[in-house]
Amino acid sequence: MLGNYEILKKEGAQYERRLRLFQSWHENVFKWHENFVFTPNKVVNWTEISKPMNEWKVGLVSSCGVHLRSQKPFDTDAHEGDWSYREFSSDINPKELMITDSHYDHSEADEDINCMYPITRLHELVNEGVIGSLSKTFYGFMGWIANPKDLIADTAPQVANRLKEEGVDVILLTPGCAVCHQTLAIIQNTIEGVGIPTIMTTLKPQLTEQMRVPRAAYIRFPYGFAAGPANQPELQKQMIKEILSLIPEIKEPETIIKMPYRWRGQIG
Could you read off the pLDDT of 45-95 as tens digits, one per residue? Answer: 999 999 999 999 999 999 999 999 999 999 998 888 899 999 999 999 999
Distance of CA 113 to the CA centre of its chain: 14
Q: How far is CA 48 from CA 120, 247, 250, 253, in A?
A: 26, 8, 9, 10
Residue 126: predicted pLDDT? 98
Helices (H), the chain: 12-32, 107-111, 119-127, 149-150, 156-166, 178-193, 205-211, 233-245
Size (the chain), residues: 268
Among 248, 202, 240, 222, which Cα is nearest to 119's?
Answer: 240
Among 203, 129, 130, 191, which Cα is nearest to 166's?
Answer: 191
Could you read off the pLDDT of 145-160 as tens digits, one per residue? Answer: 999 999 999 999 999 9
Q: Once rounded to an integer, what is the mean pLDDT over residues 117-128?
A: 98
Q: Once rounded to an integer, what is the mean pLDDT over residues 90-117?
A: 96
Q: Once rounded to an integer, what is the mean pLDDT over residues 237-255?
A: 97
Residue 134: predicted pLDDT? 98
- Burial 30-48, CB ≥16 within 10 A → b, else e: eeebeebeebebeebbbbe
Residue 253: predicted pLDDT? 97
Q: Domain ranges in the chain?
A: 6-262
* Confidence check: pLDDT of 117 > 60: yes
Could you read off the pLDDT of 163-218 as tens digits, one per residue? Answer: 999 999 999 999 999 999 999 999 999 999 999 999 999 999 999 999 999 999 99
Residue 1: predicted pLDDT? 52
Among 42, 56, 23, which Cα is nearest to 241's?
Answer: 56
* Confidence check: pLDDT of 44 > 50: yes
* Confidence check: pLDDT of 96 > 50: yes
| Phi and psi angles of residue 144, each rounded to the nearest 5 degrees, phi first | -75, 100
Among 72, 66, 64, which Cα is nearest to 104's?
Answer: 64
CA dist., res. 41 & res. 213, Å (int): 7
* Confidence check: pLDDT of 268 > 50: no
Residue 265: predicted pLDDT? 47
Mean pLDDT of the chain: 95
Half-sphere exposure of 4 (CA within 13 A, CB side): 8
* Confidence check: pLDDT of 239 > 80: yes
Residue 3: predicted pLDDT? 72
One-character DSSP codes across 164-182: HHHT--EEEEE--SHHHHH
Confidence of residue 267 (pLDDT cuts 50, 70, 90): very low
